[in-house]
Amino acid sequence: MEEGPPVNDVCSVCHGGFNIPCQANCSHWFCGNCILLVWQHGSALQPCKCPLCRRQITLLVPAGASQRQRNDPEVSAIVGRVEQYNRSFGRCDSSLFQRMRDLPFLLRRLLRELMDPQRSLPLLIRARVYFAMLSSIIYIVSPVDIIPEGVVGILGLFDDFIIAFICFLHIAAIYRSVLVNRHGGS
């Protein structure tokens, strides 16, 4: 399944069809050049904010078709600037709140990548993701708990939710580093 913006959608900056579409970490799609112009219009020393939801954009992921058109000089220049943006802001530490807001975007992309046989995550990354998922599942289903359900009832599920949440944050952090390396021209 090809990743890209919704079929009948338009760029919210230029209100035209997508040219070199890029998805921000808030899940909104923009023309690559349009979102870079938004960034350049503000302070070039900090990430720009999404024109739609006002969240800080710390990662831009070009659509797969844009990556395949890198031999076109215009596409190559814009993708190169997107990579520079990701090098500047993709690795910066973000708050727990920002990481929680990025979870749906990162986990949805990761799931799509894990299910697509034509895409390949490095074996070590896949192993880390599977190990984190397996170890959290084992903890959740095991009778040994930090807060036992048998003693405190439904409140005992709280530690299970915390473990699952930490697992999701860890997996998202692993995948974010993959995206930054892939689209940051490391």
* Amino acid (one-letter) located at 53: C
pLDDT at 1 over 60: no
Which DSSP helix (H) or strand (E) runs through 60? strand 60-62
Closest by Cα among 13, 31, 27 to 55: 27
pLDDT at 155 over 70: yes
- pLDDT tens digits for range 63-114: 876 666 777 888 889 999 999 999 989 877 778 888 899 999 999 999 988 8
The mean pLDDT value of the chain amounts to: 87
Given a contact cutoff of 8 angstroms between Cβ atoms, the answer to whether 103 and 172 are in contact is yes
- Angstrom distance (rounded) from CA 99 to CA 80: 25
- Angstrom distance (rounded) from CA 66 to CA 3: 11
* Amino acid (one-letter) located at 120: S
Q: What is the pLDDT of residue 66?
A: 67
Given a contact cutoff of 8 angstroms between Cβ atoms, the answer to whether 99 and 41 are in contact is no
pLDDT at 145 over 70: yes
3-state secondary structure of 62: strand
- Angstrom distance (rounded) from CA 18 to CA 76: 16
Percent of the chain whose pLDDT exceeds 90: 47
Given a contact cutoff of 8 angstroms between Cβ atoms, the answer to whether 13 and 39 are in contact is no
Which DSSP helix (H) or strand (E) runs through 54? none
Given a contact cutoff of 8 angstroms between Cβ atoms, the answer to whether 152 and 86 are in contact is no
Work out the average pLDDT over 111-131: 87
Buried b (16+ CB within 10 A) or exposed e, 43-65: eeeebbbbbeeebbbbbbbbbee
